[in-house]
Chains A and B, each alone.
Chain A
Amino acid sequence: MSKRKSKDIHLPAGECLSQVQRLLRERFCHQQLPVGPFGFESQHKHLLELLKRTAVHGESNSVLIVGPRGAGKSMLLNCVLKELMEMNEVKKNILLVQLSGLLQTDDGIALKEITRQLNLENVVGDKVFGSFAENLVFLLEALKKGDRSSSRPVLFTLDEFDLFAHHKNQTLLYNLLDISQSAQTPVAVVGLTCRLDVLELLEKRVKSRFSHRQIHLLSAVDFQGFLRGVELQLRLPPDFPDRRFAEDWNAGVEALCEDKSAEAVLRKHFNSSKDFRSLHMLLMLALSRVTVSNPAIRPADLLEASRLCTSDAKANVLHGLSILELCLVIAMKHLNDVYEGEPFNFQMVHNEFKKFLQRKSHSVHNFEKPVVVKAFEHLQELELIKPMDGASVRSQKEYQLVKLMLDHTQIMEALQKYPQCPTDVKQWATSAFG
């Protein structure tokens, strides 16, 4: 036993940590996870079975994978595709076309992309020739010529499927689904979307050609499962070069997951969202604090990362305002309280502010009106106040109606933490009658 251990490579601590960082960063940023989708075994099996039937037997299929953002839709699909491509009877047999609604914003671009990925005859090098109509006719001809027994099946994956439904007349969707319904080249259409009502977006003729097969990825893991997921994501694989370091690290990860304060942080995170993307962000922030002097993730790191993740952006912005701008925000708050959410204009705010200056203020000196206008405009640039009717040039800017985009409690909380806030301003904010 001791002989085998001595054969292991012992890297210096810096080297090890660099390896750890590289490995874990690939997981969190580049989505190369050590395990497949977590808790979606039945969906995985279903999708694999379906695509195998297309690939092997030439059966045309269409399916939608629906789930919230960061639920693992692309990961599931990629996993299935990888498994599929490893099968011998499939590898040579299938053509893959990957489209994304973000990139292919209209059907013309999508058609060109399809012909390019299929390497059809009108592609020279990387350029595609022909107009939209020519391309469509050409593509349909090519797909129609085939039949179930002889031609290679084509697998279409449509990322951001809901965006394809916004194309004009939904021509692409109609044609793809039409091919999948008729006895032409076998195709499988896999759509990925985060909209649960995606079927309502489809036209009737498109909808009737869709097989209505949906795979829902709604996370059903409880907190224990979530914790196990965290542990799995942080563990080093057994083929890590320095075995002893990996064991230490894994022990540290286990200890972290059992720690009470770390658990509290993770539970808070779990309560706000179950998706793995936001978890990766948290872990990434915690991981970035791992250095040679601090060679493991401590609960304190996790706490700090969670603090960074959940800090209130608007409060941060409010803390950076000058006293004058803060006074204007308070005046607007009072106007909101008195007139119950009615929009207001600059004159009213200035009036309110002047009342405060006359009656109460000792610390804030009198500002000229143009200076106050400048402060008001800065608030508008920060989008803390929003004009009611779009920027109309015709009305004077003093009389343009605006709305405050801040909450009562947000203002009060920000005021509590505001550095060196004058007491009379604070009192003015708390007094019910401006």
Chain B
Amino acid sequence: MSAPLHPGYADDRVRLLIEKLPCRETQLNTLLALMGEPEQYCYPSIFIYGHRATGKSYVIQTLLRELELPHAVVSCVECVSAGILFEQVLLSFFGSAYSSSNALPRKPSLSDFIRLYRQLCVQFPATQTRYIILDKAELLRDMDANLLPGFLRLQELVEDNVTVILLSEIVWDKFRPNTGCFEPLLLHFPNYSKAELQQILARDTHPSYSPELYSSYINILLGVFYSVCRDLRELRHLAALNFPKFCEPLETGEAKEKDAHKLWRNIEPQLKKAMQTVYLREVSSVQWEEQQSAEGEVAELRGLSSHDHVELPYYSKYLLIAAYLASYNPARTDRRFFLKHHGKIKKTNFLKKHEKTSNHLLGPKPFPLDRLLAIFYSVVDSRVAPTASVFAQISSLVTLQLLSQVSHDDQLDAPKYKCAVSLDFIRAIARTVGFDVVRHLYDFL
């Protein structure tokens, strides 16, 4: 008789687990070894970190579910207050006994939770280690200050065989409170390597094509996307979206499964385009699929970001242009740009740039209202009366978040603004009124 893989757990279950969790065998073995036999104590708190989609929650949840260990899975995103968290834990450990006899008070503190847990624990003592899994644990930091240290030493506080497992993308160093706490055991889930990604992605094959074909498709996909994205979920989504296009030449009979080069030539531009559209969610996946079936050209689709041009009133456009010029030009060059007869300014002197870095690198500078109006009057050709509507338009530009007010000290007396639009946006606006912005920008002289 050979020794069991992990004492306390049935061998076939463990084998099944290894099969279900590809490329996570090392982590699985470490976890099982740490957990020990179900009746034995486990370390009070375990902190598992790793990038997005490295299988943290999946491994833990499958493990506990398959081995039928008592556990509570709580996502900290859902827990807007600590009460919800406590309730979920108690409900999944004690079930009906919790809800019927005694409930938590309306606004429970950690103290109430511990008291109730202890009480219920006397009735239903743990025969096996109980596990509390806190997903997205980085949000615990923003809740009550005593919650995270409390959960880390929960085993000691409730005197029960309980282990808290925290899952997060962020390293433990960013969690540690000021006065320290019970240090959890740190476990790292490394990213899948390229080969492992290939292996996992190739598992979900298409029924009407051979697995080799799908595997070669995955290979092409990884070739395009691997340098940008290592997120398994994202890659899988992209793989599912673009597979019909990949198979198109096969269906029409232009290529056979063996013509790898032809298939590659067909799909590569499509994938590159997908990186700029679907990957950025400019185009939703439904639109992408519709458009593929309609055989349309990919560039025809206008993404979300091309919709960002807004229709503004005539003066509002000029006000926005003036604001942009005021934000990105130094004030000392205003005379040169906007005054008709500004006297003599030596060209060499003017062009000598004092700052090395341009304003388009540093971001917009705040400007006072007076300067905005002065530039506005000089760029608008006709005479404009400073009516209430002009000022109302300025404040409505602020509510549209095209301008932002910088200093909040005074609403009326010399308020300061910043322009919050990009160069492309302002150029589009300027084109509609026939104004050349770039000629008036110091950075582009």
Scan B173-184; emit 1 where CB is below 8 A from any A CB, else 0. 110000111110
Q: Report Cα–Cα, A12/B389, bound state, in Å.
A: 93
For window 279-309 of A, CB contacts with B under 8 Å fall at: 281, 284-285, 288-289, 291-293, 308-309
Q: Report Cα–Cα, A398/B425, bound state, in Å.
A: 14
Q: Report Cα–Cα, A398/B364, bound state, in Å.
A: 11
Q: How far is the CB of B171 from chain A (nearest CB, A)?
A: 4
Q: How far is the CB of A420 from chain B (nearest CB, A)?
A: 8
A194 and B363 contact, CB distance less than 8 A: no
**Interface 9-residue window, one of A150-158, A184-192, A310-318:** A310-318
B360 and A21 contact, CB distance less than 8 A: no
* Chain A residue at minimum C-beta to C-beta distance from B406: A394
For window 127-182 of B, CB contacts with A under 8 Å fall at: 144, 146, 149-150, 153, 155-157, 169-174, 179-182
Cβ 8 A contact of A317, one of B51, B115, B227, B276: B51
For window 82-105 of A, CB contacts with B under 8 Å fall at: 100-105
B144 and A194 contact, CB distance less than 8 A: no
Q: How far is the CB of B428 from chain A (nearest CB, A)?
A: 17
Is residue A278 within 8 Å, beta carbon to beta carbon, of the partner chain? yes
Is residue A50 within 8 Å, beta carbon to beta carbon, of the partner chain? no
B361 and A21 contact, CB distance less than 8 A: no
For window 16-53 of A, CB contacts with B under 8 Å fall at: 17-18, 21-22, 25-26, 28-31
Q: How far is the CB of A411 from chain B (nearest CB, A)?
A: 15
A22 and B144 contact, CB distance less than 8 A: no
Cβ 8 A contact of A102, one of B44, B110, B363: B110
Given contacts A103-B150, A292-B7, A395-B404, contact A322 B228 (CB under 8 A): yes
A102 and B149 contact, CB distance less than 8 A: yes
A103 and B114 contact, CB distance less than 8 A: yes
Scan A409-434; emit 1 where CB is below 8 A from any B CB, else 0. 00000000001100000000000000
Cβ 8 A contact of B305, one of A162, A319, A370, A374: A370
Q: Report Cα–Cα, A21/B33, bound state, in Å.
A: 11
B40 and A25 contact, CB distance less than 8 A: yes
Q: How far is the CB of B263 from chain A (nearest CB, A)?
A: 21
Is residue B370 within 8 Å, beta carbon to beta carbon, of the partner chain? no
A324 and B183 contact, CB distance less than 8 A: no
B34 and A288 contact, CB distance less than 8 A: yes
Is residue B262 within 8 Å, beta carbon to beta carbon, of the partner chain? no
Q: Report Cα–Cα, A216/B137, bound state, in Å.
A: 34
Scan B38-50; emit 1 where CB is below 8 A from any A CB, else 0. 0111111000011
Is residue B96 within 8 Å, beta carbon to beta carbon, of the partner chain? no
* Chain A residue at minimum C-beta to C-beta distance from B161: A30
Q: Report Cα–Cα, A21/B363, bound state, in Å.
A: 61
Cβ 8 A contact of A281, one of B49, B51, B183: B183
Scan B283-308; emit 1 where CB is below 8 A from any A CB, else 0. 00000000000000000000001000
Scan A52-82; emit 1 where CB is below 8 A from any B CB, else 0. 0000000000000000011000100000000
Is residue A375 within 8 Å, beta carbon to beta carbon, of the partner chain? yes
Most buried by B among A28, A381, A394: A394
A285 and B275 contact, CB distance less than 8 A: no
Cβ 8 A contact of A381, one of B169, B187, B418: B169
Cβ 8 A contact of A126, one of B50, B119, B150, B275: B119
Most buried by A among B51, B111, B149: B111
Is residue B185 within 8 Å, beta carbon to beta carbon, of the partner chain? yes
Contacts of B65 in A (CB 8 A): none
Is residue A135 within 8 Å, beta carbon to beta carbon, of the partner chain? no
Is residue A348 within 8 Å, beta carbon to beta carbon, of the partner chain? yes
Cβ 8 A contact of B111, one of A113, A195, A284, A398: A113
Q: How far is the CB of A191 from chain B (nearest CB, A)?
A: 14
B170 and A324 contact, CB distance less than 8 A: no
Contacts of A382 in B (CB 8 A): 51, 169-170
Cβ 8 A contact of A319, one of B8, B114, B150, B191: B191
Contacts of A317 in B (CB 8 A): 49, 51, 171
* Chain A residue at minimum C-beta to C-beta distance from B115: A126
Is residue B109 within 8 Å, beta carbon to beta carbon, of the partner chain? yes
Is residue B36 within 8 Å, beta carbon to beta carbon, of the partner chain? yes
B36 and A396 contact, CB distance less than 8 A: no
For window 222-275 of B, CB contacts with A under 8 Å fall at: 226-230, 275
B190 and A399 contact, CB distance less than 8 A: no
Most buried by B among A25, A102, A194, A277: A102
Is residue A261 within 8 Å, beta carbon to beta carbon, of the partner chain? no
Q: How far is the CB of A98 from chain B (nearest CB, A)?
A: 11
For window 360-380 of A, CB contacts with B under 8 Å fall at: 364-365, 367-368, 370-371, 374-375
For window 382-426 of B, CB contacts with A under 8 Å fall at: 401, 404, 418, 420, 422
Q: Report Cα–Cα, A309/B172, bound state, in Å.
A: 12
Is residue B87 within 8 Å, beta carbon to beta carbon, of the partner chain? no
Q: Report Cα–Cα, A163/B401, bound state, in Å.
A: 44
Is residue A119 within 8 Å, beta carbon to beta carbon, of the partner chain? no
B115 and A30 contact, CB distance less than 8 A: no
Given contacts A291-B3, A292-B7, A394-B420, contact A370 B39 (CB under 8 A): no
Cβ 8 A contact of B155, one of A14, A22, A29, A288: A29
Q: Report Cα–Cα, A103/B33, bound state, in Å.
A: 32
Contacts of B227 in A (CB 8 A): 322-324, 364-365
B171 and A313 contact, CB distance less than 8 A: yes
Q: List 4 additional A-B contacts (Cβ < 8 Å) besides A31-B156, A348-B357.
A: A26-B41, A103-B109, A281-B183, A316-B171
15 CB contacts below 8 A, A to B, read: A22-B39, A28-B43, A29-B44, A102-B110, A105-B109, A291-B3, A309-B186, A323-B228, A324-B227, A351-B361, A370-B276, A383-B171, A396-B363, A398-B422, A419-B193
* Interface set of A (CB-CB < 8 Å, partner B): 14, 17-18, 21-22, 25-26, 28-31, 69-70, 74, 100-105, 109, 113, 126, 162-163, 194-195, 277-278, 281, 284-285, 288-289, 291-293, 308-309, 311, 313-314, 316-317, 319-324, 345, 347-348, 351, 364-365, 367-368, 370-371, 374-375, 381-383, 394-396, 398-399, 419-420
